[in-house]
Chain A
Amino acid sequence: MAHVDDPSRRRFVDWFLGGSVGAFLLAVLYPVSRYLVPPRAGESAAGTVTLALKPDDVKPNSGQIFKFGSRPGILVRTAGGELRAFSAVCTHLNCTVQYRPDLSQIWCACHNGHFDLNGKNVEGPPPRPLEAFTVNARGNQIVVSKGA
């Protein structure tokens, strides 16, 4: 067979092989990258929860963590006796906050963030207030719902 040194043929073969390698990599990487991204679980639809706590379980100047869908919430009884509820997820880096009776504040142990009893960030690194929930005490039940 005669030796062929046609630059256009060479270009075609280079392009063809390069394109095949690219297509092969794409065919491997696309499913792998999609595989690594977790499927979106149904967003916790809970807009309202009835707590396992009874109103008497929460003493004045104390707080309790409760389950709000898949995330924690915090139920606080102020020294004046009023019940309030917030998301217990710190707006800084996602730790779970707790009630500090010595300060009458909500406090995050992770990076020392403080919130007042309206959920407002008053000290430390948290950039935003805690999300506030609506609390309804109906007889012996506490119902907490999203959106003021």
Chain B
Amino acid sequence: MSPAEEHGALWRWLDRRIGLADLEYLARKKQVPIHRHTVWYYFGGMTLFLFTIQVATGILLLFYYRPSAEEAYESVQFLMAEVEFGWLIRSIHAWAANLMIFTLFVHLFSVLLLGAYRAPREVTWFSGVALMGLAMGFGFTGYLLPWNELAYFATKVGTEITGAVPLAGPFLRRLLRGGDEVTGATLTRFYGIHVAVLPALTTALVGLHLFLVQKHGMSVPLDVERAGGPARTMPFVPSFLLRDMVGWLAALAGLAALAAFFPAELGRKADPFLPAPIGIKPEWYFMFSFQTLKYLPPRILGLDGEVVGVLGFGLGALFLLLIPVLDRRAARGERSRLFFWIGVAIIVYMAVLTWLGYTASATK
């Protein structure tokens, strides 16, 4: 039966105007390989689902939030205390942000360890690493918006770190802060970046990322390919999508529970003339870099410690981005032990430093 016959008149009317048959063909064509690593395929979609939650709750927060140093804290306080379900919307936004970064990391490291970045999926990897950068930018700019004490100092430190970039540093810092200090001008700037610039960039990059995933299909890990390829596949629509949706529903339930039992906190209003609070720390996904900066000595090889730290993280990010180009074996379709263990080393480093960040005494 041709598509035109199995659908009704409305479908046929739309098909002639916007080409539904082509879309249906695309949806039916997509197959998901089934093998022992299939579970990792779910984390990209989960990240995207959590991103849509962020867009939806973010739009809702905009109805009450006021982006100025005089009003931001009070407007969030009002939202939490007076607005019906205000606490729920904000808490879901905060929790989904954390979960999104987490699933993004899981997705990224599964792609890294399974070598799924190899040709012809290099550009998919580049766009994915760029999306990770955008997600961290969302986290960094969003953290400031409630204008509380923790946010204020986290932003002071975070923007000061850009000041350690050689040559362009002081200029970049001024550009980010909208002045020489973290002030209301910084808040306005971060707000614009958080609700307009980053969403626009993310939408474009997610579009490219998904287009490439659709174009190349799912990557099959090399060891599965060696063993003769996956024995079976399942259609993306509806089989995989329905499984995806089970995960999304579970995530939504989890978010509601987290929001109800551990609502987002607000803390004290930012005051530039109070000392940094004891035990101050950044969001958990910046913790490993924060902790690294604590351990660096003041001077390394004639450079300030933080300059070395910033250069190190910059080079690390560049290395991560360029892995598909650097991994010559994967480019030839061979398994690369070296890059597998580099991936493991990155995970271990981040995990250990994060753990130390939460357990090492803040005052010693």
B199 interface residue, CB < 8 Å from A? no
Q: Which residues of A contact B296 (CB under 8 A)?
A: 125
| Closest chain A CB from B263 CB (angstroms) | 25
Q: Which of A41, A96, A111, A125 is B274 in contact with, Cβ under 8 Å?
A: A96
B207 interface residue, CB < 8 Å from A? no
Q: Is the CB of A111 within 8 A of B179?
A: no
> What does the 1/0 interface line of A94-115 toward B look like (CB < 8 Å)?
1111100000000111111000
Q: Is the CB of B175 within 8 A of A37?
A: yes
Q: Is the CB of B293 within 8 A of A93?
A: yes
| Closest chain A CB from B59 CB (angstroms) | 25
A126 interface residue, CB < 8 Å from B? yes
Q: A109-B362, A110-B276 are known contacts. Are A71 and B306 too (CB-CB below 8 A)?
A: no
| Closest chain A CB from B310 CB (angstroms) | 10
Q: Is the CB of B277 within 8 A of A109?
A: yes
Q: Is the CB of B275 within 8 A of A111?
A: no
Q: Count contacts on B: residues with CB < 8 A to the other chain.
A: 37
Q: Interface on chain A toward B: helix, strand, loop, or mixed SS?
A: loop
A70 interface residue, CB < 8 Å from B? yes
Q: Is the CB of A38 within 8 A of B185?
A: yes
A92 interface residue, CB < 8 Å from B? yes
Q: Is the CB of A125 within 8 A of B276?
A: no
Q: Which of B153, B171, B298, B363 is A126 in contact with, Cβ under 8 Å?
A: B298
Cα–Cα distance between A108 and B177 once the two chains are bound (Å): 22
Q: Tell me the chain B residues, 158-174 only, with Cβ under 8 Å from chain A.
A: 160-161, 163, 171, 174
A121 interface residue, CB < 8 Å from B? yes
Q: Is the CB of A72 within 8 A of B273?
A: yes
Cα–Cα distance between A67 and B280 once the two chains are bound (Å): 22
A65 interface residue, CB < 8 Å from B? yes
Q: Is the CB of B293 within 8 A of A65?
A: no
- Using a CB–CB distance below 8 Å, which chain B residues touch chain A? 153, 156-157, 160-161, 163, 171, 174-175, 177-181, 185, 272-280, 290, 293-294, 296-299, 304-306, 362-364
3 A-B pairs with least C-beta separation: A98-B275, A94-B160, A95-B276
